[in-house]
Amino acid sequence: YSDPSRVEGEPLVFGFKHMLKTLWQCMFPLMKVNLVFLIFCLPVVTIPAAVTALHAACVDLIRGERVPVLRLFLKTVRTRFFSSWAVLLLILIPCVWSILNAWFYFSKVSDQMFWLIPGLAMSTFAVILLLMLPYAMTMTARVDLRVFQILKNAFLLTFLNLAFSVCSSLLILFVLVMSILYWLYALPLTMLLTLALCGYIGVYFSLYGLEKYVLTENL
């Protein structure tokens, strides 16, 4: 796949029309990405690197570049294995901890309303961490920064690019919820496209914030 309508060096013009047009044009490459992603998740220890490679592939597809999928995943596993583990764990562990604490506090609300305050605080923290995830993984895939800088930028971008952060998360949540609720019917689609589609949505909305606030040159 390559975007013939975009001159080399011309910056991306973000918008829903461009997002849907690009999605339609790179549907088949996304299917290949989805399949290779599932294969690379099988060893389990390569899951963070596979997630990073999925984001890297989506970045290249959105930019209208050809993506050698298998080579890209192999390269990402080799070069981003430890950094992807670090970023993912530093987001997911506090997120899980926050969710468990929120559940504990909310279970106490029936006894005393005071517990609603820490429950809401823990829930808010978990949501912020989840909103950070697409930014963090996209930067891990395509920007040479230290783990601390990636997390700091992801946190700031979540608020600086808040409308896009929320929109992206709601779209991804909708896709995942539909896939879970109708898993029997959605299973073939999940195997073919769903996970890559979620990655594509997250990356597309993240790129706008990255280009505006982090990158020193246009994509």
Kindly give the confidence (pLDDT) of every residue in the chain, 219 residues in length, as a single tens digit, with 9 standing for 90 and above: 444 444 444 556 677 788 888 888 899 999 999 999 999 999 999 999 999 999 999 999 998 888 999 999 999 999 999 999 999 999 999 999 999 999 999 998 888 888 999 999 999 999 999 999 999 999 999 888 999 999 999 999 999 999 999 999 999 999 999 999 988 888 888 889 999 999 999 999 999 888 887 765 554
pLDDT at 13: 65
Asked whether 66 and 1 are in contact (CB, 8 A), the reply is: yes
pLDDT at 210: 86
pTM for this entry: 0.89
Asked whether 196 and 33 are in contact (CB, 8 A), the reply is: yes
pLDDT at 215: 63
Asked whether 164 and 205 are in contact (CB, 8 A), the reply is: yes
Rounded to a whole number, what is the distance in angstroms from the first to the last CA of the chain? 17
pLDDT at 211: 83
- What are the structure tokens assigned to 108, written together? 């106490």
Nearest to 91 by CA among 161, 160, 139, 38: 139
DSSP 19-78: HHHHHHHTHHHHHHHHHHHHHHHTTSTTHHHHHHHHHHHHHHHHTT----HHHHHHHHHH
